[in-house]
Copies of this chain bind each other. A is one copy, B any other.
C-alpha cells in the first residue's frame, strides 16, 4: 500500500467567493469556481480534455432537496458525457474526492480529471443547518442524546483542557490568527480581523447612543457577552461559519501535466483514515485517530515527515479542531497546540503558518467545498500567487480535512 503507479499534479485551482448569497444556488457557485479554476491553468485547458468529475458535496439532499449532483454539475460546465460521481464523507467530502481523483489518474484510467466541492447552506435557518450537519454524527446515539457538532467538539475541548491545561485564551488565539489571515483573502467570507469586528461593535454602540464598550484587546472582546457561549468552552467565535461556496481543481498525470503548466504542484502524499463513528466509542477525546492514520499514510507515500511541511491548511471547524490537528499531524507535541498558537508560531509570520487562507473559521465553511478549497490555498501559496498573505519560499504544503466529529480524515502533501 501507498506506492502509486504514476505521479499526479494539480495544474489549476480556483474557487467562488465564499459567503452568503441569497440569489445563488449550488449551481451558480459551482460554475463560478470551475471558471476560476479553468482560468488559473497557465496554458488553456479545453473542457473536452477533462475526462471525469469527482464532486465533493455533503448534503444537497438536506440543504436543497437535490441529489445526484455530479452529472448535474458536469452538465453545467460542458463535461457531459464524461463520468461524474459525487463523494460524501461529511465535511471531508471534497478532500476525499481529491484523493479518489488522484487514485483514478494513478490507475491509468484517466489523464485529466476535475475535482469539485460545493455546498449551499444559507438558505436554511441556523437551527436547520445545525440539524442537517448533526446527521453526520451518530443519529442513534449522539443526536438522540441531544448532541450537535458544537457540543461534540466542546467535549473534545474540555477533555483537552483537563488533560493538558489548554485555556480559553489559547482557543481564542486560533480564532484571532485565522481572522487576521482571512482579512487578507479576497475570497473569504469574513475579511475582518477580530479588532475590525470589535471596532464595528464599538461604532455601532456609539451610533445607537448605547454605552460604549471599552475592551482592552481582542481577548477581552472575545471573553465578553459580545461573544456568547455556544457550548462550553466554545463561544461563537470558536465556531466556523455557515457558508455558500464552491471550489475546483484540475489534476493531471505526469505524462500530460507539463503541457498545461511549467509550475505543476505535485500531490506527493495522500492518506485517509476513519475512526469509531460515535465519540463515546473512541479510545481518546484529545486526538483524532483518523487524522493520525491519514497523515502517517501521506507522510509515508511522500517519504517525508512533519518537519518537512512548511505550510498547512487544517480543518478548523472549531478552534479546538485546529489545536488537535497541529498535534495529530506531528507539527507540535501532543498537548502543546494551544500554547504554540498563543505564542504566534502558527501565524503568517510564524515558523509554521497554519490556515493562511483564514481557514474554515474566517474564509468560511461550505462543508462539501472546504477540502478542495484547502488545496486551492496550498496551490496558490506554493506558486507564489497568494497575494498579501503569501508566505515566502514554501515548497512543501499539506492539507488536512476532517469529516464529522473525526470519523473521517484525509491528508494530502504537495510539492512545487
Interface residues of A (CB under 8 A from B): 1-6, 25, 27, 51-52, 58-59, 61-62, 64-68, 70-72, 74-75, 79-90, 96, 100, 102-111, 135-140, 270, 272-277, 281, 289-290, 293-294, 403-404, 407-408, 410
B residues less than 8 Å from A104 (CB atoms): 100, 103, 107
CB pair B274–A408 under 8 Å, yes or no, is no
Q: A5-B108, A68-B90, A275-B71 are in contact. Are A84 and B135 (CB under 8 A)?
A: no
Contact partner of A80 (CB less than 8 A), chosen from B83, B106, B107, B274, is: B274
Give A301's nearest chain B residue, CB to CB: B109
Chain B residues near A410 (CB, 8 Å)?
83
Looking at the assembled complex, report how far the CB atom of A181 sits from the nearest CB atom of chain B, in whole angstroms. Answer: 28
Copies of this chain, tallied across the complex: 2
* Neighbouring B residues of A111 by C-beta, 8 Å: 1
Contact of A109 among B1, B83, B408 (CB under 8 A): B1
> Are B68's CB and A408's CB within 8 A?
yes
Please tell me if the beta carbons of A65 and B139 are within 8 angstroms of each other in the complex.
yes
State whether A408 touches B62 (Cβ < 8 A): no
Residues of B within 8 A of A67 (CB): 58-59, 61-62, 88, 90, 135-136
From residue A35, how far is it (CB to closest CB) to chain B in Å?
Answer: 19
Residues of chain B within 8 A (CB-CB) of A89 are: 68, 70-71, 84-86
Q: Bound state CA distance, A22 and B137, in angstroms?
A: 23
Residues of chain B contacted by A272 (CB below 8 angstroms):
52, 83, 85
Contact of A68 with B88 at beta-carbon distance under 8 Å, contacts A59-B61, A103-B104, A103-B107 already known = yes
Q: A407: which of B68, B108, B273 is its contact (CB, 8 Å)?
A: B68
Judge whether B103 and A109 touch: CB under 8 Å. yes
Contacts of A27 on B, CB cut-off 8 Å? 140
Residues of B within 8 A of A80 (CB): 274-276, 289
Would A71 and B108 count as touching, CB distance under 8 A? Answer: no
* C-alpha spacing A70/B58, complex, angstroms: 13
